[in-house]
Amino acid sequence: MAGLDYTKRDRALWIALLALCATSAAAYVLWALPAMPETVPTHWGADGAADGWDSKGSTIFMGVVMPFLILALLFAVPFLDPRGESFNRFKGVYQGFSAAFTVFMVAMAWLTPATALGVVPESGSFVNLLVYGSMGLLFVGLGVAMPRIEPNYTFGVRLPWTLADPDNWRRTHRFAGPVFVVMGVATLALSFFSTALPEAAMVAVLLVVLLGGVVLVALYSFLLWKDVIR
């Protein structure tokens, strides 16, 4: 079966991530769930303020199940990808992303309990710092790693032109690296100024930054395919 060739160190990483999810889930069910009031915040606006509430029982999926699902998907991707053997050539990049994203999802799982129990204020900048700041750091990390990602069907800039041509894949990912770093820095900066912006303006700026970067990378790849760029 194609996929990652795991060493003892690799297996230790995935076991540690599984242990993190299991520890978080146990603490959530045994401590946080009984401690929370019956109605808890479950949604936050672009300004970082809680704007949606539900019963605490409704949070079990996001708080307990979702991190396990994300981890299982990340683990399975190299084995499900028809080009899974290529993951061995950028294994460090993929496992680093998997670890960072799993930690991010575990942190998100605890946002509701932390807010419901008064550790995090229902209004303020902390939520935006956590969410947008983490997203920004993930984008920066991906941008730095982009040039090292080898052709595959599930991780990276997967466009018809990159998948059809290894040279297009290589050049597109080299171009995408700085673009993703800029997207990450801009998202990180927004996390510090989000409370000073109207919510609609915050959403608009974030969409321009993220969609603009993605469209720019896709356009570059397309122009390479059309031989407009040489």
Give the per-residue pLDDT at 124: 63
| Contact in structure between 139 and 127 (CB atoms under 8 Å) | no
Give the per-residue pLDDT at 198: 75
Pairwise CA distance, residues 199 & 90, whole Å: 39
Angle (nearest 5°) at CA 73 between 152 and 211: 65
Give the per-residue pLDDT at 123: 67
- What is the mean pLDDT, run by run of 10 residues, along the chain of 230 residues? 75 96 97 95 80 92 96 95 93 95 95 90 76 92 96 96 96 97 93 74 88 96 91
| Contact in structure between 53 and 39 (CB atoms under 8 Å) | yes
What pTM, to 2 d.p., does this model score? 0.90
Give the per-residue pLDDT at 87: 94
Pairwise CA distance, residues 194 & 135, whole Å: 14
| Contact in structure between 20 and 102 (CB atoms under 8 Å) | yes
Pairwise CA distance, residues 225 & 227, whole Å: 5
Give the per-residue pLDDT at 3: 66
